[in-house]
A and B are shown apart, each in its own frame.
Chain A
Amino acid sequence: MNVEVLEDERHHRFVLNMGPQHPSTHGVLRVLLELEGEYAMSLLPVLGYGHRCHEKIAEFKPAKSFMPNTARMDYLGALIYNHGYAQLLEKATGVEAPRRAEYIRVITSELNRIQSHLLWYGAYLLDLGAFTPIMYAFDDREEILDILEDITGSRLTYCYYRVGGVCKDIDDKFVTRTRAFIDRLRGRFPMYDELVNGNVILQKRLINVGDLTPQTCYRYGITGPLLRGTGVAYDLRRAEPYSVYPEFDFEVPTETSGDCMASFKVRFREMEQSLRIIEQALDKLPEGPVMAAKVPKKLKIPAGDYNSSVEAPRGELSYYLVADGSDVPYRLKVRTPSFSNLSVVPEMCEGMLLSDVVSAMGSLDLVIPEIDR
C-alpha cells in the first residue's frame, strides 16, 4: 500500500537537469533535481565534467614542477593553493623560506582571498537577479589583478611561490598600489552595505534559507565561511597557525544563524580582516632575500608522510603527500574545501524552492575545477 502511494507521488515529480550548462552552477556542475511543482524534493550533484587527473599527474613529475597545477585547481584562490603546496614541500625537505618571502606570501595570498570573495560577491548577486553589483565588484577586483599581474606575471593562475620563497621580490610600486587599494576598498564597503546588503529583497532571499548547524558541518566536513556562519570560529590561520599569521592582529568573523545571510556577512567581514592583515604586513615588511639560499635543483623528498593545510577562500585546503625518497611524489592527495561543501547540498536543499536552491548553492561559493580536480 505504502509503496503504491509513493509510486503515485513520484508520478507528479519532474526531473530537471540543472547544468552542466546553467547560468547559476558557475561551471560544469550538473545537479539532478527532482521537482514537485517548484519544490526540489531531491537533489543529486553529478560531478566529473571537468576532471583533469591533477592528483595522478603529481605522481609522474618532480614534486617541484607540480606548482602550476595547484593554481589550476582553484583558479580563484591560486596563490593560496601555491602557498599550501610550497609549504608542504618545505615541510618535507626542511627548506626554510626567508621571513620576507613569508610576508610577501601573506600579502599576496590575502589579496588573492579578497579577489576571490569579490568575485563570489558579484556572481552570487547575479544568481539572485541583481545584475549591477558584479560590475562594481569586478571593478575593485580588477585592481587586485593588476597589482598581482605586475609582480607575478599572471592574472589568474599564478605560479609565484617556490619551494623556499617566492620567485620575485616586490617593489615600491607594489607597496604604494596595494596601500591605495586598501583605502579604495575600505571606501567602497559602506556603499556595498547601503546599496546591497541592506536591501529588503536581498534579506528576504537570504535569511532563513539554507540553514546549517555546526553538527551538519562536522558531519560533512564543511569548513570556511559556511562553518564560521554557524558560529564556529574555525580558521586555520588561527586554529593551526602557519606561515607568519601569528604575528598579525586580526579577528575570525563569525555569525550565529547559519543561513545564507550568515555566510554572506562572514565573507564580507573577512575581506575587511584581510585588508587589516595586508596593512600590518606592509608596515612590518622585513628586508632580506626572498629565496632560501640553498634549494637543490633536484628536490629529493625523504620517505614519509607529510601534510600541510592552509585556509583557502572556501575553507580548509590540505595537501597530503606520501614520498618514497625520490623527487617524484608516490601519492599526492588534495583535500579541497568545495568538494566537501558541495556534499551537503542534497541535505541542505531538500524541500526548497528552486530559487532557494540557487541562492543556497551560491552561498557555498563553489569553484567547480576545484571539485573536479
Chain B
Amino acid sequence: METFYSILPELIRIVICAACGAIIVFGNALVMGYAERKLAGHIMLRPGPMEVGFHGILQLVVDGLKLMGKQLVVPAQADKPLFMIAPLLAFAPVFVPLLVLPFSEKIQGFDLDVGLLLILAFASLNVLAILIGGWGSNNKYSLFGAFRSVAQNVAYEIPMLISLLAIVFMTNTFSLRDIAAAQSPVWFVVLQPLAFLIYIVAMVAETNRAPFDLPEAESELTAGFHTEYSGMSFSLFVLGEYANMFIVCSIATVFFLGGSSGIPLPYFEYSGAIWFLAKVYALMFFLVWIRWTYPRTRFDQLMNFCWKYLIPFSLVNLLITVVMVKLI
C-alpha cells in the first residue's frame, strides 16, 4: 500500500498526460484539417467548406463521423494483419513525443534527459507504418509509395538530426526544456540560420508533405501508400500525419524559435504555451502554404538534394558549431 501511495501521483500524472496528448492529437487534427481546407480554398480562389456550420466550421466533425461510419475494406489479396496494423502503427507513436514537449516552463509531461532522442526514435516509426501499409495492401501503387517513403524518410532523417545536433552541442543537453530555456536572450534561429533552413526542408520531407509528398504523389501513384485504405484506417493515417506535423513544428519551435518565450503575459510559466502554440501554428501555416503553392519534385531530385546539399551543409554547420563552442 505504501508503495502504491508513493507512485500514485506519478500514475495520475501519466493518465493526465495521456489524456492531454489525445486532446492535442485530435484537437490539432480538427483545427489543422479545417484550417488546411480553408487556406487551400482561399489560395485557390474558392471559399473552401461553407455548408456545415458557420463557414463550414463543423465540416471536420461531420467528416470524422462519416469516416467512422464507413466500411473497412480489406482487399482480397492483401496481407490482412499487416494491412490492419499499419494505420495503428502510424497513429499510436505520435502520443509519446507529445509527453516531452515543453509547452511552457511549467506545462510539460515529463522532462527527460533524453527528450530529443525519444522524439526522434518515435517519429521514425512512421516510416515503418507506411512501409507495412504499402506492402500489406498488395497494390503496386501502394508499394511504390512505401518504397519512396522509406528512401525519403531515412535520407532526410540524417540532415534533420545533424542540424539539431548543432544545437545540442551548444547547449550540452538533450532535454527539451533546457534547450528552450537556453535561448533567453537570442533565439537559436539567429545563431544557427543554416541549421534552421536545413531543418525546415527536412521537416517538410519527413512529414511527406508537398512539394515532397512523393509517397502519395497522386498524379503518379493515385494515392501512394494509402491507395487501398478507407474509412477509419485511412483517417488514422491522416491523424498521424497532422500529429507528426505538430511534432516536427514543435521541435522547430523548441530548438530554433525559443520555445515558449515571448512577450510576457500574466502567469507566464503557464501562459507561455500561447506563444508556443502561436509559433507552432505559424510554422504549420507555412507548411500548408507551400503545399498549395509548389509543384512536386521528382524523386531523384529529392534524393540528390538531400545527399548532395543538405547532408554536407549540415555537417559543415555542425563542424563550425563545434569549433565555435570550443573557442568561446
Contacts and interface: CB of A to CB of B under 8 A. Distances in A.
Contact of B211 (A22, A38, A126, A129): A129
User: Taking chain B's interface residues, is the majority helix, strand, or loop, or is none over half, making it mixed?
Assistant: loop
Given A23-B222, A355-B217, A201 B295 contact: yes
Contacts of A355: 217, 220, 296, 298-299
A358 B301 contact: no
Contacts of B222: 22-23
Interface string B44-58: 111000000000000
A322 interface: no
B104 to A, nearest CB: 36
A14 B140 CA distance: 9
A199 interface: yes
A330 B274 CA distance: 79
Interface residues of A, number: 28
Contacts of B77: none
A356 B296 CA distance: 12
Contacts of A195: 293
A38 B45 contact: no
A38 B299 contact: yes
B206 interface: no
B297 A201 contact: yes
B213 interface: yes
Contacts of B26: none
Contact of A130 (B218, B220, B296, B298): B296
B43 A132 contact: yes
A201 B211 contact: yes
A358 B213 CA distance: 16
A127 B220 CA distance: 8
A139 interface: yes
Interface in B256-296: 291-296
Interface string A190-219: 000001000101101100000000000000
B300 interface: yes
Contacts of A24: 219-220
Q: Name the residue in B213, B295, B297 with the highest tally of chain A Cβ atoms < 10 Å from its Cβ.
A: B295
A199 B299 contact: no
B213 A129 contact: yes
Given A23-B218, A139-B45, A204 B299 contact: no
A354 interface: yes
A221 B102 CA distance: 65
A129 B217 contact: yes
Contacts of A292: none
A354 B148 CA distance: 12
A195 B44 CA distance: 13
Contact of B295 (A14, A22, A38, A129): A129
B210 interface: yes
Contacts of A205: 295-298
Given A129-B210, A135-B46, A204 B218 contact: no
B99 to A, nearest CB: 35
B299 A353 contact: yes
Q: Name the residue in A129, A136, A353 with the highest tally of chain B Cβ atoms < 10 Å from its Cβ.
A: A129
A199 B295 CA distance: 9
Interface in B294-328: 294-301
A156 interface: no
Given A38-B299, A355-B299, A201 B294 contact: yes
B144 interface: yes
B295 A130 contact: yes
Given A38-B144, A136-B45, A356 B295 contact: no
A202 B299 CA distance: 13
Q: Name the residue in B144, B220, B292 with the highest tally of chain A Cβ atoms < 10 Å from its Cβ.
A: B220
Interface string B232-268: 0000000000000000000000000000000000000
Interface in A22-42: 22-24, 38
Contacts of A14: 140
Interface string A1-30: 000000000000010100000111000000
A358 B219 contact: yes
A295 interface: no
Nearest to B40: A131
B295 A125 contact: yes
Nearest to A358: B220
A126 B140 CA distance: 22
Interface in A315-373: 353-356, 358
A135 B220 contact: no
Nearest to B44: A135
Contacts of B301: 204
B324 to A, nearest CB: 32
A23 B219 contact: yes
A204 B298 contact: yes
Contact of A199 (B140, B213, B294): B294
B43 A128 contact: no
A353 B210 CA distance: 19
A130 B294 contact: yes
A199 B290 CA distance: 12
B119 to A, nearest CB: 29
Interface in B27-80: 40, 43-46
A139 B46 CA distance: 10
Contacts of A135: 44-46
Contacts of B291: 131
Contacts of A204: 297-298, 301
A129 B213 CA distance: 9
Q: Name the residue in B144, B219, B293, B300 with the highest tally of chain A Cβ atoms < 10 Å from its Cβ.
A: B219
A332 B25 CA distance: 64
Contacts of B40: 131
Interface of B: 40, 43-46, 140-141, 144, 210-211, 213, 217-220, 222, 291-301
13 contacts: A24-B220, A38-B144, A131-B44, A131-B291, A131-B292, A132-B293, A139-B45, A199-B294, A201-B297, A202-B295, A204-B297, A205-B297, A353-B300
Interface of A: 14, 16, 22-24, 38, 125-132, 135-136, 139, 195, 199, 201-202, 204-205, 353-356, 358
Given A125-B295, A355-B217, 9 more contacts: A14-B140, A24-B220, A129-B211, A129-B219, A130-B295, A204-B297, A205-B297, A358-B219, A358-B220
4 cross-chain pairs, A with B, having the tightest CB-CB distances, nearest first: A129-B296, A130-B295, A135-B44, A128-B295
